[in-house]
């Protein structure tokens, strides 16, 4: 069955409305077909089949309208079917759909790279290359860092998530489900301890000294091409490193001819209340990877970096058939227009204030909440046995399932699966957010 209510976007009624069980009978029918034809390895968190989405809601085939606290994993920051994205995509589809930038180029690709030079941290000359997915961007950042430095080793951190391709699986920390059985993995990837204030109690400079000791003693700066870090951990649990951690790493990298690569695939494009999370401490990375929020839901990713580093790669060394597809570029330009025109970075900070107030209230009432943390519209609670740091993934799963059954799309994350995370579209209304967190509060009461 095809979509019946094809008109999504911000004009969709902004309500939570359940007219069937979740999933409803039509979704269950589609789910049966999914089981027959889609590989079991491709999971779904909340199996309602979508017909329309926009603002802060997702509408399913059964006519249920759910509040979206996931944004398709931090992708639809400008809202689903955002007007400028839809307009640009329609115009581009009418004109042409693909030529391959490496065969016959088009302006949209260059426009996106020009915007990235302007929006990413730092005032230096920058260039970009465009790809299809975040993992592909991370792979290419490593390729560029290796050529530019003439060194091989790559440092990553505990709890890191960088993707599911072979090199990025090696860089990702968590075994199940991302790596299990998929090895052997790429070599020359080394892991250092991340700043994790709840669990290590270290200040930023102390945590950085601990990480740098590993890099110095176990890898050696003369072997190390780059340090790749998420400035706020994404899949690893929305851990915000203690302040001073990133600046100390930046300083060490500069002093040792090691490139600092910020993986801003989840944090970038206004999600954390700034254009990039590195902006928060004034850290300027050498290379930045972007994807998720940058193109309003179309597949697009980028590596942006110092011009001389980006240009170290031989002609033809970077690319791919679809990288920087013209429709995805048009969508990105629309998404950037929405972010700038509506000051969505400021909106992310407002969302943080509202969500933090609601989560702190929950934490005061439920000792299972070990920590409320996050930045901007990227907030989470880590759940542990009361008074300890022993993870409680069962409670996170139960609370999330309650939310799903009551019409709120929520996600969990973290190395132990015990982090309840919230990634609303930046276009969601305060009213819907308050209603969604009423449901989250009920979920904690009901699962106590």
Ligand X SMILES: *Cc1c(COP(=O)(O)O)cnc(C)c1O
Note the residues at the interface with ligand X (CB under 6 A): 133-135, 138, 161-163, 230, 234-235, 263, 265-266, 291-292
**Scanning the structure block, which residue is given the tokens 């190395």?**
415
3-state secondary structure of 177: coil
Task: Provide, rounded to whole angstroms, the least separation between the CB of residue 293 and ligand X.
Answer: 10
Distance CA 205, CA 248 (A): 6
Question: Closer CB to ligand X, residue 82 or residue 135?
Answer: 135
Question: Closer CB to ligand X, residue 26 or residue 69?
Answer: 69
Report the 10 Å Cβ neighbour count for 358: 19
Is 167:339 a contact under the CB 8 Å cutoff? Answer: no
Question: Closer CB to ligand X, residue 250 or residue 292?
Answer: 292
Query: Which pair of structure tokens corresponds to residue 17?
Result: 């409305």
Task: Provide, rounded to whole angstroms, the least separation between the CB of residue 294 and ligand X.
Answer: 11
H helix or E strand, kind and range, residue 383: strand 378-383
Distance CA 412, CA 434 (A): 19
Task: Provide, rounded to whole angstroms, the least separation between the CB of residue 128 and ligand X.
Answer: 16
Question: Closer CB to ligand X, residue 29 or residue 164?
Answer: 164
Is 303:144 a contact under the CB 8 Å cutoff? Answer: yes
Read off φ and ψ for residue 242, nearest 5 degrees: -60, 145
Task: Provide, rounded to whole angstroms, the least separation between the CB of residue 303 and ligand X.
Answer: 12
Question: Closer CB to ligand X, residue 136 or residue 286?
Answer: 136
Task: Provide, rounded to whole angstroms, the least separation between the CB of residue 335 and ligand X.
Answer: 15
**CA-closest candidate to residue 330, choices 34, 87, 23, 152:** 87
Q: How many CA atoms lie within 13 A of 24 on its CB side?
A: 17
Task: Provide, rounded to whole angstroms, the least separation between the CB of residue 266 and ligand X.
Answer: 3
Helix pair 326-341, 107-119: axis angle to 10 deg: 40
Question: Closer CB to ligand X, residue 135 or residue 192?
Answer: 135
Question: Closer CB to ligand X, residue 263 or residue 286?
Answer: 263
The alpha-helical segments, DSSP class H, found in 219-325 are: 245-255, 307-310
Residue 50 pairs with which residues in a beta bridge?
A: 60
Task: Provide, rounded to whole angstroms, the least separation between the CB of residue 164 and ligand X.
Answer: 7
Task: Provide, rounded to whole angstroms, the least separation between the CB of residue 298 and ligand X.
Answer: 12
Is 170:152 a contact under the CB 8 Å cutoff? Answer: no
Question: Closer CB to ligand X, residue 135 or residue 215?
Answer: 135
Residue with CB nearest ligand X? 134
């Amino acid at each position: 069955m095809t979509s019946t209510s094809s008109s999504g976007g911000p004009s969709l009624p902004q309500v939570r409305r359940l007219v069937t069980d979740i999933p409803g009978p039509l979704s269950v029918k589609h789910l049966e077909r999914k089981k027959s034809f889609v590989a079991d390895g491709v999971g779904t968190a909340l199996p309602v089949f979508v017909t329309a989405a926009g603002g802060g809601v997702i509408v399913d085939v059964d006519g249920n309208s759910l509040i979206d606290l996931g944004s398709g994993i931090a992708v639809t920051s400008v809202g689903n079917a955002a007007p400028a994205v839809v307009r640009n995509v329609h115009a581009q589809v009418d004109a042409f759909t693909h030529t391959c930038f490496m065969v016959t180029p088009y302006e949209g690709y260059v426009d996106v790279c020009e915007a990235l030079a302007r929006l990413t941290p730092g005032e230096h000359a920058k260039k970009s290359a465009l790809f299809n997915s975040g993992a592909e961007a991370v792979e290419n950042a490593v390729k560029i860092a290796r050529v530019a430095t003439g060194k091989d080793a790559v440092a990553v951190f505990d709890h890191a998530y960088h993707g599911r391709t072979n090199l990025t699986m090696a860089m990702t920390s968590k075994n199940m489900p991302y790596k299990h059985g998929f090895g052997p993995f790429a070599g020359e990837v080394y892991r250092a301890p991340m700043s994790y204030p709840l669990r290590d109690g270290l200040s930023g400079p102390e945590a950085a000294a601990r990480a740098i000791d590993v890099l110095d003693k176990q890898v050696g700066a003369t072997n190390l091409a780059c340090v790749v870090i998420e400035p706020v951990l994404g899949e690893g649990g929305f851990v915000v490193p203690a302040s001073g951690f990133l600046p100390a790493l930046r300083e060490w990298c500069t002093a040792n001819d090691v490139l600092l690569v910020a993986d801003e695939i989840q944090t970038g494009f206004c999600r954390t209340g700034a254009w990039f999370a590195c902006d928060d401490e004034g850290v300027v990375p050498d290379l930045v990877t972007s994807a998720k929020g940058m193109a309003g839901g179309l597949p697009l990713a980028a590596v942006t970096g110092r011009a001389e580093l980006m240009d170290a790669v031989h002609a033809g060394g970077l690319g791919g058939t679809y990288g920087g597809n013209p429709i995805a570029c048009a969508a990105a330009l629309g998404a950037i227009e929405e972010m700038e025109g509506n000051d969505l970075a400021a909106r992310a900070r407002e969302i943080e204030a509202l969500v933090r107030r609601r989560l702190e209230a929950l934490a005061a009432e439920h000792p299972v909440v070990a920590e409320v943390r996050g930045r901007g519209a990227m907030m989470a609670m880590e759940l542990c046995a009361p008074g300890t740091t022993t993870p409680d993934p069962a409670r996170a799963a139960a609370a999330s399932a309650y939310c799903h059954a009551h019409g709120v799309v929520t996600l969990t994350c973290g190395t132990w699966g015990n982090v309840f995370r919230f990634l609303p579209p930046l276009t969601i209304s305060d009213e819907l957010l308050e209603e969604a967190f009423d449901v989250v509060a009920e979920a904690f009461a009901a699962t106590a």
